[in-house]
A and B are shown apart, each in its own frame.
Chain A
Amino acid sequence: MDAESVAAEVRNCDERNTVLEARGVTKRYHLGEVDVHALRGVDLSICQGQMMAIMGPSGSGKSTLMHIIGLLDRPSTGTVMVEGEEVSQMLPNELAAVRNRRIGFVFQSFNLLARTTALANVELPLVYAGVSAAERVTRARAALEKVGLGDRIGHLPNQLSGGQQQRVAVARALVTDPSIVLADEPTGNLDSVSGVEVMRILQGLNEQGITVVLVTHDETVARHAERIVRLRDGLLVADEEVEQRHVATAHVDGAGEAALAERTAS
């Protein structure tokens, strides 16, 4: 597979605005004496309102890519632009502000604050955005209602099921009205029913115009997106439209793969 030719095929966003753009991103780690090239020059444009999946086997660099486009990590070389703004040279506190206002994260392991209620967890980004206490509660409550947890706002993470915890995390990601929600293996720690529920919420957000990027190694999960980019060994090897898009349905019976009920997107 020729990296140069794939890079040339990378889609630009045509008439849609580019929310996030990576150019020539590489990432090297030093593990003892060994240099690991997690990313070896990735170009990627994420378009406004798109639901995109980043796929690849483990070790392909997909998580590293997500961390870099989510500004949790810095590229070794290359640039990242968020809504046209170059962020590679920003100071840590400026990056924090960009993460706070424009990016929402959903992690595989939820990453909620233990000993803190669902409401307070969702309020957290608003605290750092300087939103007043009263408005924080209103907005956090609205976000929790959006993910169907309006009746669980006072619960602690350990009083919630995995799926509910992940929905709290989704509420936390969307409470700041970000330009983009990044979800790293959001269903990885969930049973299939909860996984479907979370995918349904992410698709619902996308329908409301929020850009969603999924990172997954699971083809079924990835096919909920409208576009899939594939990584292998730190290079982008494919960028394709999803033809038979999966739509997660609200109420499903059964378990296992069958639970990921399919419905062809119209």
Chain B
Amino acid sequence: MLGVIIGVAAVILLVAIGTGVQEDIAGSIEGLGSNLIFVFPGNFEEGGGPGGGASIRRQFTLDEADLVRRRLDVRHIVVPIAQGPAALRVGNRTMRTMIAAGNEYSDSVFAANYADGRGYRRSEVAAASRVVVIGATVRETLFPNQDPLGRSVSINGQRFTVIGHVVAQGGSLTGDQDNQIYMPVTTAQRIFGSTDISSIVVKAESADEVPQVQRQVERILRPGFGDEFTVFTQDQTLGLFQAILGTLTFMLAGIAGISLLVGGIGIMNIMLVSVSERTREIGIRKAVGARTYDIMSQFVIEAVSLSVVGGIVGIALGASGAAVLSRWVPTEVTLWAVALAFTFSAAVGIFFGVYPAYKASRLDPIDALRYE
């Protein structure tokens, strides 16, 4: 029974972790918001994708963002994005984090649920004001149990004023949004000492207009950049991530397959051991008059009930293990994993419980009694 319990629990748990991670990745991709178009410098058509090894010959600057904004219909939002590391200090507390900078429309791009305070304004972007919005982790680290609003914080050696902070969103695989600070892109450029920006994000007014806006953006940038830029719509981004998710699904199937195999071997072993131990018992029962049918029905009933009870305990164990683990790792218990683990383990348990008993039940009683 232990074999069945461990087999079922292991399969459920591993698949739960796999599924949880997969869902989490899918969720954070979809959570980026809808209607978004991402423009990156460099040609990814040859490289395979962002970070896929494309060589970037020329970065975007605010001029390109401005160009796109001016040439596009005003209904669409254009946000220049600058990202980079930052060292923060408040009093004697320090921490390292990431800057995500944009313009006054950044709220449409970055998730922004203000716990308190506000986002930066257009005037602050224009003036490159040293104002900052901080994520939940940053707030807890630098201002434990304090109100950060209006406090000053040193970022890469420059004094900033905290104007808002964002509610905790939980970790995600695309980056810990809680461990980020947000500031005007112009300010960020000064901190980084560069006029470059990392990308341009366009938010089309509606999903239907995304392909059209994409074509417009390409037309706008082509004269200046040739092919040295890449436009991703969220559909494309999703498609890219779908490929990753597909790989993850294979990984998941691999995990499930291996854990089923390991669990199955464990069950098989325990069942085989218990049946050889019980060959003498079969001999005793036959000596006092048990027919083959009596032996078989006993072992079938035992194997089935052990497998079913073990399976149920295993499901409970796997599910509660997944619940406990979810504090650290995203987990999701799926019905198909439960069904697969249970069916497979039960089948293995029953087969290896019954088959050797079937063989033993056909021995002459004296051979079964003598079995060592």
**Is B238 part of the contact surface with A, judged by Cβ < 8 Å?**
no
**Is A97 part of the contact surface with B, judged by Cβ < 8 Å?**
yes
Judged by DSSP, the binding face of A is helix
Q: A99–B287 Cα gap in the complex (Å)?
A: 7
**Is B203 part of the contact surface with A, judged by Cβ < 8 Å?**
no
Residue ID in chain A nearest B364 by CB atoms: A73
Interface size on B, residues (CB 8 A): 19
Judge whether A111 and B287 touch: CB under 8 Å. yes
Judge whether A172 and B366 touch: CB under 8 Å. no
Considering only residues 287-310 of chain B, those with a C-beta below 8 Å from chain A are 287-294
Judge whether B364 and A96 touch: CB under 8 Å. no
**Is B191 part of the contact surface with A, judged by Cβ < 8 Å?**
no
**Is A3 part of the contact surface with B, judged by Cβ < 8 Å?**
no
Judge whether A72 and B369 touch: CB under 8 Å. yes
Tell whether A74 pairs with B364 under 8 Å between CB atoms, given A96-B286, A113-B281. yes
Judge whether B369 and A111 touch: CB under 8 Å. yes
Using an 8 Å CB-CB cutoff, how does the interface string of A89-118 with B read, 1 for contact, 0 for none? 000110011011100010100011100000
Residue ID in chain A nearest B363 by CB atoms: A92
Considering only residues 150-194 of chain A, those with a C-beta below 8 Å from chain B are 172, 176
Question: Which of chain A's residues have a CB closer than 8 A to the CB of B283?
Answer: 111
Tell whether A67 pairs with B289 under 8 Å between CB atoms, given A111-B280, A128-B294. no
**Is A129 part of the contact surface with B, judged by Cβ < 8 Å?**
yes
Q: A97–B289 Cα gap in the complex (Å)?
A: 6
Question: Which of chain A's residues have a CB closer than 8 A to the CB of B364?
Answer: 72-74
**Is A124 part of the contact surface with B, judged by Cβ < 8 Å?**
yes
**Is B20 part of the contact surface with A, judged by Cβ < 8 Å?**
no
Judge whether A72 and B365 touch: CB under 8 Å. yes
Q: A107–B283 Cα gap in the complex (Å)?
A: 12
Question: Which of chain B's residues have a CB closer than 8 A to the CB of A74?
Answer: 364
Most chain A CB within 10 A, of B286, B292, B366, is at: B366
Other A-B contacts than A72-B286, A97-B289, 5 sampled, CB-CB below 8 A, are A72-B365, A111-B283, A112-B284, A113-B284, A125-B288
Q: Please give me the 8 A-B residue pairs with the lowest Cβ-Cβ distance, nearest first.
A: A100-B289, A125-B288, A72-B366, A128-B289, A93-B291, A73-B366, A72-B365, A96-B291
30 sample A-B contacts, Cβ–Cβ < 8 Å, listed by A number: A67-B366, A72-B365, A72-B366, A73-B364, A73-B365, A73-B366, A74-B364, A92-B292, A92-B362, A93-B292, A93-B293, A96-B290, A99-B286, A99-B365, A100-B289, A100-B290, A101-B289, A111-B280, A111-B369, A113-B284, A113-B285, A124-B284, A124-B285, A125-B289, A128-B288, A128-B290, A128-B291, A128-B294, A129-B289, A172-B288
